[in-house]
Amino acid sequence: MEVKAHAKINLVLAVGTRRPDGYHEVETVLQQLELHDRLIFRAARGLRLYSDSPEVPSGPENLVWRAAVLLRERWAGDRGAEIRLYKSIPVAAGLAGGSADAAATLRGLNRLWGLNLDHDTLRGLAAELGSDVPFCLGGPTALARGRGELVIPLPPAPPAGVVLVRFPFGIRAAEAYAHFDRFPYRDHLDVSPVVAALAAGDIAGLARGLANALEPAVFDLYPEIREAKRRLVASGVLGALVSGSGPTIFGLTSDPAAAEVVAANLRSQGLDALATQFKREGPEA
């Protein structure tokens, strides 16, 4: 059985104070992309995890493993599974690849093991695994609050192309948030323009509302990301932004074909760019 795990971007990320549990209060508009990892599940004795990426561990450090163990301990007794993970989402890139894989694991093993757990039960488990996992369990477009675990579905985004500019390094969220905490001045970002643009199906308004409170901290840590965003904006996209804690930058275009043209142009300039598009329907499984 195969389940897809879709990448996400943050169309807006407003960051508030640090909480006693170490997380920050956030308000963010999340959007899934067609870019996805694949997970294949088979019945087996015990738990086994294989990955095609050397960057991804195959044990307790992996969110897929942690999701499988959590679901098994709470609901599945001694059931087992072999899980094969095929990565397309870059690691530590601000695209929630690990969270998407964990959410896909909850969905896939719920089916494989015949548990028939409802979405609310799975969402409770997802919240224990990480801030983005509850959103990745559903999608494709939502407003998230708290540390990201309070998810409110929004109207699907209008059709749009997305250009992703990737980097040969990752940024851990803890690094970006720690640097953000050192900044003396913080913008108070408003998610309402993007929420309104989604309701109206207005891709231009959506692009105008893009904002990320972590972006100045990411640029301060890695000036080359600022320069790559400048080149992405100059390529003619409707708007561009660092996704989450970075380092990936995305740009929006009016349609997927335009995204392919922009990505090809950026690759000719030496940037690692690819084209994808908004995901506009809920989970396949």
Domains of the chain with CATH codes: 2-153 (3.30.230.10), 161-277 (3.30.70.890)
Per the DSSP assignment, residues forming a β-bridge with 269 are none
pLDDT at 185: 66
Backbone angles phi, psi at 277, to 5 degrees: -155, 165
pLDDT at 139: 84
Between the CA of residue 8 and those of 47, 99, 171, 265, what are the distances in Å? 27, 10, 16, 23
Q: Kind and range of the H or E element at 142?
A: strand 141-146
> For the chain (length 285 residues), average pLDDT per consecutive 10?
97 88 88 98 95 88 95 92 96 93 98 96 94 93 90 94 96 90 78 96 96 95 97 97 95 96 97 96 73
Q: What angle do CA 111, 114, 116 make, to 5 degrees?
A: 80
Sign of CA dihedral 69, 2, 257, 91: positive
Pick the catalytic residue: 4, 37, 132, 279? 132
Pick the catalytic residue: 4, 8, 87, 229? 8
pLDDT at 148: 81
132 is catalytic: yes
pLDDT at 285: 52
Structure-block tokens of residue 88: 């397309």
pLDDT at 25: 85
Q: What angle do CA 174, 180, 182 make, to 5 degrees?
A: 110
Distance, CA of 257 to chain centre: 23
In this structure, are residues 140 and 31 in contact, taking their beta carbons and an 8 Å threshold? yes
Backbone angles phi, psi at 200, to 5 degrees: -90, -5
Of 10, 6, 34, the C-alpha closest to 274 is 34
Beta-carbon count within 10 A of 56 CB: 20
Cα 60 from Cα 42, distance rounded (Å): 19
95: left (phi over 0), alpha (psi -120 to 50) or beta: alpha
Beta-carbon count within 10 A of 21 CB: 7
